[in-house]
Amino acid sequence: MPELPEVEYERRRLQRAMAGARIRAVILRRANLRYEFPPDFVRRLEGQMVRGVARRAKYLLAELGSGDVLLMHLGMSGSFRVVHRNTHEQVPHEDRYDLHDHVIFEISTGAVVVFNDPRRFGFMTLLAPGEVDTHATLGRLGPEPLAARFDVPALAKELSRRKTSLKIALSDQRVIAGLGNIYVCEALHRARLSPLRRASTLTTRTGEPRPALDDLVRAIREVLTEAIRNQNRTGGVDRFRVYDREGRRCPRRGCAGTIKRIVQGGRSTFYCPVCQR
């Protein structure tokens, strides 16, 4: 499933392709993705100026001139591609789209933005002006991990009352918005913290942050920043220090540990039991 860096990469691509331009036409090649499209979906989009494309956790939000917001989620397999109309029109109509190209936005600049989703767990809907803050999911999200309001005191406040494991606490979207399974594993390894450790042990009894919490906040920011920067590169699992590397030697210099896999909250956790405490 795409995580925050993958979604941020898509946001930047959509921002370049759509911001400041109008949506000339919308083509729906099916009636639904994970959910059905709103009945007025096409009408409310066509002719609208896209003010910009934002991201909240793993959600994409295209802000329209009308005040509406196009809310999009990639699901497990969704992605966008951007082609130019001139190139697009040179291809015979029946060959322009893949079987899993479900939504097409024709942009006034000549770009064509295509949403492809083989498994159809993604979705798109429209929010009226003012609905973003009261949306059932968006309204409950914690701070963005790369935003200024995500800092050591804020995280200490959340973790001080958590009796769950550190891995489970960090995966809670009410604690940190958009931080997913892969990058929780990566950040914990970088910060030398065990995913099994009780979350509240990173604070004192009075809720003050312990030094390890500084390392954790720094690690979260670093792994996400690096992952966003590396999105246009290949490399697969070798991009990661611990994720999906069960049985391999710990990459930390001087550590003789072996990466272990366990299951927490129904998700795989990868860590080094030697250097992560």
Catalytic residue numbers read: 2-3, 58, 267
Report angle CA 72, 33, 93 to the nearest 5 degrees.
95
Amino acid at 82: V
Please name the residues in contact with 206: beta carbons below 8 A apart, sequence gap of 6 or more.
Answer: none
From residue 263, give the alpha-carbon distance in Å to each of 72, 145, 168, 181, 260.
Answer: 30, 24, 11, 11, 10
Question: What is the C-alpha separation between 64 and 41, in angstroms, rounded?
Answer: 13
Residue from 53, 115, 54 nearest 80 by CA: 115
Count of alpha carbons within 13 angstroms of residue 179, beta-carbon side: 34
What's the start-to-end Cα distance of the chain, in Å? 28
Work out whether strand 123-127 and strand 267-271 pair parallel, antiparallel, or are unpaired. unpaired
